[in-house]
Structure 1
């Protein structure tokens, strides 16, 4: 056991890959079991799909996340607020679209889709998935770089992302698009009919704050 722990400490990417090879297929299983709608007579669990999630999670996504977290920590090694915010900003603007593209492209290739099919799914689903992730991951990324030891950061992302993986699994098999939360909020609160009223109220409270 001590020898295994020593290997894991020396090569932290190994436990990260092992963790993702369990979390990804588990999330897909949960999605299939509890959230997917089946037609009458259709098989309940697609084990080939679960196998693809296992391969992708362990061999592709885990190394991708691991190397990104190391790179971000090297670029901004301090735990000051400026460095933490810089890492969060880079994570959401640079890594997030790469990671999500890897997810859709990687699994589509494993499914055997042709290049046009891979591109169509990526183009259709990436923007809204990215927008949804912007509502979730900045806070978790901040905590990860602030509180979690470097060797455990990939695993932390994996465990925090279990429900995110389940959501991605749902989006992967969804034939139509979906509306991300930020768009719903925009349509509800910042549409053309009440945008001017929001600006007016904002100005009023700012002036009131300055006067007092």
Structure 2
């Protein structure tokens, strides 16, 4: 198996485990479910999105950022450029895609997904901007490229608890 495919699979598996853990934490601590009442299917779906979508997409995006932001800049300046690109070019569309993907895997109708987008997109995006710019400056200035997705996914454990709460809200 080529190294690039192996890296995508490996990254996807890591991200999937962290996303599933975020959903499990959301169910047990936020939603106050007992472990015996854990919605394992929901947790596995949340993790599967990490394996097949989030991990590979982030791996590709971080590699692209590393190529397009000049390496000759001072580390903090380079990190700020990467963060600005990440938060202006990537985050808005990535969040929109997650709303759609989770709506589809949860069996929601297109009108329901559209309503969820109208009701939740800007809230999720604003919460994103409360967490991710600082986390990404640290990521891009200190963490080696081959560990950036992993670092981001550990920060994502908190983020995934929030996303699970918003994207699995059945009241929509």
TM-score (norm 2): 0.87
Deviation at 1:109, TM superposition (A): 0.6
Compare CA radii of gyration and give the structure with the larger one. 1
List per-residue Cα deviations over 1:90-131 (Å, max 9, x = no partner): 111111112211221111111111211111112211101111
Match of 1:4 in 2: none
How many pairs were matched up? 168
**Is 2:92 the partner of 1:97?**
yes
CA deviation after TM superposition for structure 1 residue 142, in Å: 0.9
Structure 1 gaps of 5+ residues are 1-6, 178-212
Distance 1:151 1:48, change over 3 A: same
Q: How much does 1:44 deviate?
A: 2.6
Unaligned runs of 5+ in 2: none
RMSD over aligned CA atoms reads 2.3
More helix by share: 2
CA contact (8 A) 1:16 1:62 kept: yes
Asked if 1:30 is matched to 2:14, the reply is: no
Match of 1:47?
40
Q: Higher RCO, 1 or 2 (CA under 8 Å, sep at least 6)?
A: 2
Inter-partner Cα distance in structure 2 for 1:88 and 1:143: 9
2:101 corresponds, among 103, 106, 111, to: 106
